[in-house]
Amino acid sequence: MEITNIKKIKCGKILEEVDLKKYTTFKLESKARYLVIPKSISELVNLLKFLRTNNIKHKIIGNGSNLIFLNSYYDGVLIKLEELKDLKIYDNKVIVGSGYSLIKLANKMSRLGYTGLEFATGIPGTVGGAVYMNAGAYNSDMGYIVSEIKVLTPSLEIKTIYNKDLNFHYRQSFLQKNKDYICLEATIILKKGNKEEILELIEERKSRRLMSQPLEYPSAGSVFRNPANDYAGRLIEEIGYKGKKIGGAQVSEKHANFIINTGNATGKDVSSLIYEIKDKVKKKYNIELKVEQEFIE
């Protein structure tokens, strides 16, 4: 069956020939044949049944803050879950849809005087993406606050997975090793705190980020995980790669663990730079740097 038959099924909003600069934080030169935004879980199920039955390439995306599309064209279907954004607050328990903005949630709960999400006020992903990546900062991450998630299983059934079975480790989770499970919603447990202190801490960290990170350029945040007892940025500086450029991709002069898009960078530019850095660090220090981003063919 032709991929164009996607227009005949009830699966949400369908966009064609999509410029991925609008849907990724790196804003790399790339397009996708289709981007679909299901408005409900039932529409998502309809879509997945169609895609699987017809063996059509597809990928779930959040805010695209950790994705690098390697080719100039993604000949398949990207699925964005931004409409799964229900939010219910029961005192310190929050039940939130996977498409909800993590920054928005972190700021909202902090302003309500809850502590536990301060680390997330600078992470530009969705709740679902953050659970998938076990996103974190400042010695905290999603694994500390997520008590359970609701997922769509490979057999398209809705199931609850609890924290103990989500295998949260540094930038890792059960979902990364089981990519056919789709996070639909997360239950987050916070604590009551001192609102003024919480907001003061957030402002202080924001100022520090603005001074130390190249936020004026498109990027995907930190490129590499920090190795044990060391910093990826330090190692990249030591091999002389601060400011190193390939095409439109450049290692930031401000923070060496950021690769920025200085103009019309492609996924190939970014990946070439990443693999050069990995190779040089491995040769000089025998350290295998781990990439935080996901490469999409």
Active-site residue set: 171, 222, 292
DSSP string covering 130-152, please? HHHHT-EETTEEGGGTEEEEEEE
DSSP summary character for residue 109: H
Cα separation values, 59 from 64, 82, 89, 164, 252, Å = 11, 14, 30, 27, 29
User: Nearest 5°: phi and psi at 162?
Assistant: -90, 160
Residues with Cβ within 8 Å of 236's Cβ and at least 6 positions away in sequence, in order, are 224, 242, 251, 256, 257, 277, 281
How many whole angstroms separate alpha carbon 241 and alpha carbon 277? 8
Element (H, E) at 116: none
Q: Quick check: 251 and 236 in contact, CB under 8 A?
A: yes
Chain-centroid distance, C-alpha 290: 16
Residues with Cβ within 8 Å of 230's Cβ and at least 6 positions away in sequence, in order, are 287
Name the strands in the sheet holding 31-37, side by side, starting at the edge strand that comes first in the sequence: 13-19, 31-37, 73-80, 58-61
How many whole angstroms separate alpha carbon 49 and alpha carbon 29? 30
